[in-house]
Every structure is written in C-alpha cells, then in structure tokens.
Amino acid sequence: GDKAFAQFLTDEIKEEKKIQKHKSLPKVSGGWELEVHGTEAKLVRKIAGEKITVTFNINNSIPPSAEEDTQEQQKPDEQEPELTSTPNFVVEVIKDDTKQTLVLDCHFPEDEIGNEGEEESDIFTIREVSFQPTGEADWKDTNYTLNTDSLDWALYDHLMDFLADRGVDNTFADELVELSTALEHQEYIKFLEDLKSFVKCQ
C-alpha cells in the first residue's frame, strides 16, 4: 500500500509543479516588505511616522468550493478549477509617538469573490477594530473591540479610506490574494514532498 501511495504522491507533485504559476512568490507593489514564517506571512511598510503591518495565515484560507457546480461545467481535459486563497488579514497601524496600535481585522466576504462587475464595491471588509498596546505579543480581550456589523456607514467608509491612504486598498487586496495563493500552493507541494518522504521511510 505504501509503495502505491508514494507513487501516487510522486505523480501528484509532478502535476502540481506543472500548474504552479509562480516559481517565486509574487511581489506586492507599494514598497511592502515580506516576511514568511511557515504558513504565516507578514507585510510591512513604513510611511511618515507610521509603521503598517499586515499579517495573514494561509491555513484554512481556501474557501470550500461548491463541488456540484464545477463537476458539470468541467470539460474532460480541463484542470481542476483554480483554487484561490483568500485569508483573513490583520492590519496594524503603529504611530511613532503613541503607545497604542490600531488593529483592523479584515476579511474577504465569500460572496464578494468573483463579483468583479461592480466597480464600486470593495473586495475586502473590515470586521473588527480595536486598540492594542504597542509591542505586546498577547492582545487583551478586555480591550474594547468594535464590531463593524452595526457600525455607522460614514464611520466605516472613513476607516476604509484610512486604510486606503496607507496602501491597503483593492489593488493591495488583489495582490495579497495572489501572494497568498502562491504561498499556499508552495506549502502544499512542500507538504506532499514531506508526506512522500514520510511514507517511504522504513
């Protein structure tokens, strides 16, 4: 059984490498620096007295696909539909002269992906906003967290503009999806390779 499993994995790795779009991770425009630790990625940029960091994790970032839909439309020779990784991401804005960090928890709504037609609509939304003490690893649950579900639209729009002014806009979100998808695929191939070595190990 293990032999067959290892052979299957070898073929699978070959296939995945064939469809891999990016041999190296795509860049995010706008002067963002990328750090990757396993499945977690962090983008950092500094502008006039502020440091903006965007953190996301590729685990569980691929929305469950509607299996039934894709089956019928697939032509026999077609590759599987492309998987896109749309992770939640956290934006932290740190101003040099304050002890607080503004934290905005953003995500890609599932129904928005693919609705490219509407120019106006944002491809990501802000879910929660809070202040956290700068430099502390553990955030406190006791800090007030603003949930945007019941938020005044004008305030919400200002928050979105606030992010856009710092380079977190639709273009950035598109590039983040591209980066995350490439990272996810890279990790998946690495996982298959590790699994193959593990299965073959006596």
Q: Please report the domains of the chain, with CATH numbers, ordered by start residue.
A: 1-59+83-109+122-200 (3.10.280.10)
Whether 72 has a pLDDT exceeding 50, the answer reads no
Whether 66 has a pLDDT exceeding 80, the answer reads no
Mean per-residue pLDDT of the chain: 86
Angle at 41 between CA 136 and CA 16, to 5 degrees: 155
Three-state secondary structure string covering 112-174? CCCCCCCCCCCCCEEEEEEEEECCCCCCCCCCCEEEHHHCCHHHHHHHHHHHHHCCCCHHHHH
Nearest to 63, CA basis, from 128, 126, 21, 108: 108
pLDDT (average), residues 138-146:
79
Are the C-beta atoms of 16 and 189 separated by less than 8 Å?
Answer: yes
Whether 27 has a pLDDT exceeding 80, the answer reads yes
pLDDT in tens, 163-186: 999 999 999 999 999 999 999 999
pLDDT (average), residues 27-35:
93
Q: Which amino acid is at 20?
A: Q
Residue 1's pLDDT band, with cuts at 50, 70 and 90, is confident
pLDDT (average), residues 115-139:
76
pLDDT of residue 73: 47
Question: What does the alpha-carbon distance between residue 15 and residue 131 come to, in Å, rounded to a whole number?
Answer: 46
Most confidently modeled range among 105-114, 127-136, 168-177? 168-177
